Structure 1
Amino acid sequence: MISLKSALAKPFAKRVYKNIQKWANKPLETQEKVFQELISEATSTEFGKDHDFISINNHKDFIKRVPIRDYEALKPYVEKVVAGEKNILWKGKPVYFAKTSGTTSGSKYIPITKESMPSHVEAARNAILMYINETGNSKFVDGKMIFLQGSPILKEQNGVQLGRLSGIVAHYVPKYLQKNRLPSWETNCIEDWETKVDAIVEETLPENMTIISGIPSWVQMYFEKLQQKTGKKVGDVFKNFNLFIFGGVNYEPYRAKFENLIGRKVDSIELYPASEGFFAFQDKQNEKGMLLQLNSGIFYEFIKADEFFNKNPKRITIKDVEIGVNYVMIISTNAGLWAYNIGDTVEFTSTKPYRVIVSGRIKHFISAFGEHVIGKEVEEAMKEATLNTNVRVSEFTVAPQINPKEGLPYHEWFVEFENEPENLSVLAKKIDESLQKQNSYYFDLIKGHVLQPLKITQVKKKGFENYMKSIGKLGGQNKIPRLSNDRKIVESFPQEKIS
């Protein structure tokens, strides 16, 4: 028997689908409207005055007056906002600061305004509604839903609430979902991640879990603890679990392991949230990529990744992007971020409508020898090499080995296996061949005997987890970079290596 909540979800989903189609089918007009509104609203702010917003009529004017900045470059303005000053980056004061741990900047304070907050909440909701509209499946709304996230406890800083983005969003769960939502407020407030996951296992075991959501690496820990506790596959523990929602990292390297932990395939929805904005969500089950949110108070610019470090790289809008090109994404938002580099690289999989995949981080690449290897390529190589095998990978990261004890330099892959390969060197050869196929620079360096083929260093079970714990970044939205241009990360956990 269909419940009232399940029945009502379908017409609501249809209405949301139609609204999304309106702007998705008019992408250029939608982005132009967003651009004009952003400039108009911020003309009288300190940033707007400093950058002559009153004279900006179009994107060309904007490029001339507003240079690209990362957090460090924007910091003088942000510090004024944090100190409690008004009308600096956006009118008035923000309602929240999302505190994030930057890889280069220490803690970052990302402003969230009353204008930008709704998109953080609505995009995740809309992703689920688009799924309901496409599949007709709405039964899961009657079950329990779990969202693995940071603590919802907020602090105050000069009249502005401060916390992790996922903790802030926890305050905006719609009333009709409150009864279905787990973990409890008390459990969500536990700071220690391992203690928290143990408490979540205890809370969820007796429940009818239908949706599970979170960053794959941390959901994996939850699944493993469930399995240890019950001796059963997650799909047998939760018979009605049929939708996994994830974001933050590429799911593909985890997919085989998850299907093994669950014991069957479940539908999944990919999200692209960040403290700086909710950029995209998967709108179709059988289409590659996520629908870029063009109507959410965010104006997008793109720079080809291989031109990004040039003196004056060309900044383009969605009008001029091409499918399959690796771009650095630059955003201007109604939270007061202007021509801001969030550090992500994306590729378009479609321009009708505009869909993207996250291909990596502009700072997370290996080019110690001019090879320009990116996150998407190493993940694809691992996926291809382990396809149709029993090998299952828990986690991995890649670093250059510039000064080996003998022979040529090489890429060193630090891999933690759940199911180990019979022969590490055979797997390494497969990965290397896939990487050469994808990246012509890497191919040339191998063939030209500048590099030798990659080598795998095995990491002990829970090695990555222990490393994250040792640097105080276990859980929440923290994740291991897929690759680095130096050896700082891998040299931080020598005790975890297996030679």
Structure 2
Amino acid sequence: MGIKALLSKPMAAWVVARQQRWMEDPAQAQQQVFASIVRAAASTAFGKDHYFKDVQTPQDLAQAVPVRDYEALRPYFDRLKAGERDVLWPGLPLYFAKTSGTTSGTKYIPITQASIPNHINGAKNALLNYIQETGRSQFLDGKLIFLSGSPVLEEVAGIHTGRLSGIVNHHVPGYLRTNQLPSYQTNCIEDWETKLDAIVNETIDQRMTLISGIPPWVQMYFDKIMSRTGKQIKDVFPDFNLFVYGGVNFAPYKTKLLDSIGRQVDSIETFPASEGFFAFQNRQEDPSLLLLADSGIFYEFIAVEEFYQPNPRRLTLAEVKTGVNYALIISSNAGLWGYSIGDTVKFTSLFPHKLVVSGRLKHFISAFGEHVIGEEVEGALQDAMAEFPEVAVTEFTVAPYVDQGNGPSYHEWLIAFDSPPHDLERFAKSLNWHLRKRNTYYDDLISGNILATLKVTPLPPNAFQQYMKRQGKLGGQNKVPRLSNDRTLANGLLEALQV
């Protein structure tokens, strides 16, 4: 065992012991975060505008600060981009995390000196929890790859600006730099396909032990390696034993990824975003994620069915229940206040407070009043694939088809199969049945003949890659929406195939 693997064990024990203290009383940890961030921001422009000097409790904050998304907070972000200090948090941000929004165009999310440890420690502690639980730390002695965006940063009002993954790349601990791949030069390549070829060239003969990235882009990396070598990943990287991922549900990709690898490997799911690092999987046998209650972020939760009401109830961590879909609202030491990140979560347990990411507020289908969400379509697909073991899915999305007088309305599933079902019609019926079981409104619409049985449109394995390339969003941290309430994405996919 190498020195890095050896020294990581006492560090892991210390981190997990410290973590255990706030896990036992997360409400108290949240109260301390709340008091700290409100006090620190009281003299900022936002704090003065919202009378932070009078905010003493979470209920005061809910009264003073409405729930907003990026667009609603844009006037404050624009002041930061103009170089104004003390707007949302004391001083200027350390970085802007640049991200694409579906409704707001390019977003510039502030990351402050106070908030950068949240991003760095969240990822680090996910690995240390794994080491403490399993005793396996040998991966630290091999090569580690993080498939990420370019670390090249531009400047906006003198503030370093780039993709979150590129920003975080600048903060990889020094003791891991010698292990990290790809090289800085390769990581700076903007074109994903060119970059992927370079990554394969740099890693194919290395002792890879940890691979991290968004599952569909990791699959592209695996496909390249297998095409180059004619071997499964286990034979190219025999010491690869830990896969770290986040950003999307792993389940739809799991079968093909494991087939590509050729054996089981341990995995850690994380819940990162430009706005913060919120949770990670801390137990191998439990796929749910531990919410980080002491990491500079104060959380509020709104039941999804109440979110668009005039005065929805904003619950603290002490008030949540298991099994309820909540919109996640954050206030943080990055200067985000009452900020809706757009994700929905569902708690699987309390003490410890663990959750799953259940979907996106704006990613749903309710063209007929069914309000189908991401968790439901992903679950239905997973159940159907269990009945059809030959099926492997590269990527998928779901959209409504509204009858224009030419036939019935239905949900269209556009699925890129790496390995299609032997009987597509039976597979579609299975999908339909499992979705009916998960959503009573959808079941009622099918029973009432308002909707026809869903339609599966099979696509080539690279269909989504072609579409993302046309959109300039191939690779990195870009993700395909699981479902949409209109046909913009569906039509774009079909058009991309005709080019």
Under a length normalisation based on structure 1, what TM-score does the superposition of the two structures give?
0.98
* Aligned-partner Cα distance in 1 for 2:148–2:411: 34
* Aligned-partner Cα distance in 2 for 1:95–1:288: 33
* Aligned-partner Cα distance in 1 for 2:380–2:117: 38
Q: Does 1:234 align with 2:233?
A: yes
Superposed, which structure 2 residues align to 1:9-28 within 5 Å? Answer: 9-28=8-27
Do the aligned partners of 1:457 and 1:497 also contact (CA within 8 Å) in 2?
no
Task: Give the RMSD, CA atoms, in angstroms.
Answer: 1.0
Do the aligned partners of 1:416 and 1:463 also contact (CA within 8 Å) in 2?
yes
| Residues 446-455 or 487-496, more deviating | 487-496
Structure 1 alignment gaps of length 5 or more: none
- Partner deviation per Cα, 1:430-462 (whole Å, 9 max, x = no partner): 011000001111111111111111000111231
Q: Does 1:129 align with 2:128?
A: yes
- Partner deviation per Cα, 1:241-271 (whole Å, 9 max, x = no partner): 0000000000011000101000011100001
Superposed, which structure 2 residues align to 1:21-420 within 5 Å? Answer: 21-388=20-387, 389-403=389-403, 406-420=406-420
| Residues 186-195 or 485-494, more deviating | 485-494
Do the aligned partners of 1:458 and 1:497 also contact (CA within 8 Å) in 2?
no
Q: Does 1:471 align with 2:460?
A: no
Give the deviation of 1:350 after TM superposition.
Answer: 1.0
* Aligned-partner Cα distance in 2 for 1:422–1:287: 33
* Aligned-partner Cα distance in 2 for 1:404–1:238: 53
Q: In the alignment, which residue of structure 1 is the partner of 2:455?
A: 455
Do the aligned partners of 1:460 and 1:496 also contact (CA within 8 Å) in 2?
no
Structure 2 alignment gaps of length 5 or more: none
SS in 1 for 2:328: strand
- Partner deviation per Cα, 1:45-78 (whole Å, 9 max, x = no partner): 0000000111111111111110000000000000
Give the deviation of 1:404 after TM superposition.
Answer: 5.6
* Aligned-partner Cα distance in 1 for 2:289–2:493: 35
* Aligned-partner Cα distance in 1 for 2:425–2:308: 36
Give the deviation of 1:496 after TM superposition.
Answer: 4.8
Q: In the alignment, which residue of structure 1 is the partner of 2:2?
A: 3
Q: In the alignment, which residue of structure 2 is the partner of 1:490?
A: 490
- Partner deviation per Cα, 1:266-325 (whole Å, 9 max, x = no partner): 100001010100000111111231110111110000001111111211111111111111
SS in 2 for 1:219: helix
* Aligned-partner Cα distance in 1 for 2:19–2:254: 29
SS in 2 for 1:130: helix
* Aligned-partner Cα distance in 1 for 2:145–2:166: 14
* Aligned-partner Cα distance in 2 for 1:3–1:360: 41
* Aligned-partner Cα distance in 2 for 1:4–1:108: 42
Letter in 1 for 2:402: I
- Partner deviation per Cα, 1:339-367 (whole Å, 9 max, x = no partner): 00010000111111111111110000001
* Aligned-partner Cα distance in 2 for 1:95–1:202: 34
* Aligned-partner Cα distance in 1 for 2:314–2:234: 47
Superposed, which structure 2 residues align to 1:421-460 within 5 Å? Answer: 421-460=421-460
* Aligned-partner Cα distance in 2 for 1:460–1:112: 39
* Aligned-partner Cα distance in 2 for 1:131–1:252: 20
* Aligned-partner Cα distance in 2 for 1:431–1:333: 40
Letter in 1 for 2:141: D
Identity %: 55
* Aligned-partner Cα distance in 1 for 2:405–2:380: 26
